[in-house]
Amino acid sequence: MTQLKYRLSRLNQYPFMTVGLIVIMVLVYGAMTLAGGSTNVNVLITFGAKVNVLIQQGEWWRLFTPIFLHIGFTHILMNMITLYFVGIQIEAAFGHTRFLTMFLIAGIGGNVASFCFSDSLSAGASTAIFGLFGAFLMLGESFWQNPVIRQIARTFMAFIIMNLAFDIFTPGIDMAGHLGGLIVGFLVAYTVGVPRIGKVSVIKRIVATIVLIVGLVWLYLHGMAQ
């Protein structure tokens, strides 16, 4: 029994959600490569890239599927490296279920923002990864008195600023998606809470949840009306 509990404890500490997401995305990338190439527009559309006009025609799942698609080898390589190193930290702090919830909702939220503010075809896990950055900012705001968390939050704030500055000067980057994912990740982190570290104000959690829901609904309806 003691050995079983030890194994279960080790399994609980293993970042299997992060690793699982990476495996899925690599497999999807391989399937896209075999289908004609991940930079092929027709392949991207077939696999579920964000295309505004198709979403407006009822293909709402295109707000979800782009999270798992990548355009070219460099794109998936950089995103998977970032996801691994950021994901294992967030998964350890929030727990497996909360981590996956934040990742997916932030990814969808970023794509909704992109749908509202950008007409370009887009794909990639960046919207969800920026949501994990937002979760780090939530930890920094909620547990600022903890010197370790405070230092990590400062480091990620600098990292976020550098990434957004890079986005501004790089053509083809989905800035709306990145900012949307960042904000949604920040809000949903309050919604799910982080009991492994400490309690978060109930008022903050309620306000964040309301802002999150109202904001996403407004962005979606605005995008549909364009």
Give the residue numbers marked as catalytic. 126, 178
Q: How far apart are CA 194 and CA 4, in angstroms?
A: 26
Token code pair at residue 104: 């997916």
DSSP type of residue 193: -
C-beta separation of 188 from 205 below 8 A: no
Contact 46/34 with Cβ under 8 angstroms? no
Q: What tokens appear for 86 in the block? A: 């950021």
In this structure, is the dihedral angle defined by the CA atoms of residues 115, 120, 121 and 123, taken in order, positive or negative? negative
Alpha helix stretches (DSSP H) within the chain: 2-13, 16-35, 41-47, 52-56, 73-94, 96-117, 126-142, 147-168, 175-192, 202-225
Copy the structure tokens of residue 138.
């939530």
Can you tell me the distance from the alpha carbon of 27 to that of 169, in angstroms, rounded to the nearest whole number?
Answer: 31
The three-class DSSP label of residue 122 is strand
